Amino acid sequence: MGVFSSEEQDKIIHAINLAEAKTSGEIRVAVERKLKGDVMERAQFFFNKLGMHDTVNKNGVLIYIAVDDHKFAIIGDIGINQKVGNDFWNSTKDLMVSYFRKNELVEGLIQGIYSAGKQLKTFFPVAEDDINELPNEIEFGDN
C-alpha cells in the first residue's frame, strides 16, 4: 500500500508487542489512505473485520487511521467501555494529534499505541498465562 516503509511497519509492530507485554488487552492498527464514509463507522467496520470482539476479556482496542483525510479513531470493546469513562481515550487522541500536527504520523501512532497499552494495563494487567489472542500486524485497507 505504500503508507509505511518496511522499517516503519516494524517499528509500529514492535510498539504493539511492547504495549501488549504489560496488558492482557489486544491492540490492532488499521490504515487506509482514503476514508470511506464516517470515521467511527469505518473503525467499527475494521473492528468487526479483524474479530476484535473475540477476545476473552472483551478488551480489544483498534486504532484506525485514514492517512490522506487526516482522520483517525480509537475504539475499544465492551469490556473496556464497561470499566472506563467516556473520556478514557481523549489523552491518547490528544497525544497522537500533537505528533500528527508535526507530520510525524509513525511516531504519533507509536506513542498512541504505548498510551493505549499503559491505560489498558490499569484495568487489564497481563496475566501469567496470558496469550496473544490477535495478530499484531497492521491491517491495510484496500485503497
Tell whether the model's pLDDT for residue 135 goes beyond 70.
Answer: no
Please check whether residue 12 lies inside any domain of the structure: yes
Q: Which residues of 59-93 are buried (b: 16+ CB within 10 A; e: fewer)?
A: bbbbbbbbbeeebbbbbbbebbeeeeeeebbeebb
Please check whether residue 116 lies inside any domain of the structure: yes
Query: From CA 30, how far away is CA 62, in angstroms rounded?
Result: 7
Query: From CA 25, how far away is CA 117, in angstroms rounded?
Result: 8
Please check whether residue 1 lies inside any domain of the structure: no
Structural domain count of the chain: 1
Q: What pLDDT shows up at residue 87?
A: 74
Domain that holds residue 133: 6-140
Each residue of 66-121: pLDDT tens digit?
A: 999 999 999 999 998 888 776 778 889 999 999 999 999 999 999 999 999 998 89
Tell whether the model's pLDDT for residue 55 goes beyond 70.
Answer: yes
Each residue of 58-68: pLDDT tens digit?
A: 999 999 999 99
> 3-state class of 107 per DSSP?
helix
Say which CATH number the domain at 121 has: 3.10.310.50
Query: From CA 120, how far away is CA 53, in angstroms rounded?
Result: 16
DSSP lists the bridge partners of residue 60 as 26
Q: What pLDDT shows up at residue 113?
A: 95
Please check whether residue 99 lies inside any domain of the structure: yes
Query: From CA 128, how far away is CA 51, in angstroms rounded?
Result: 24
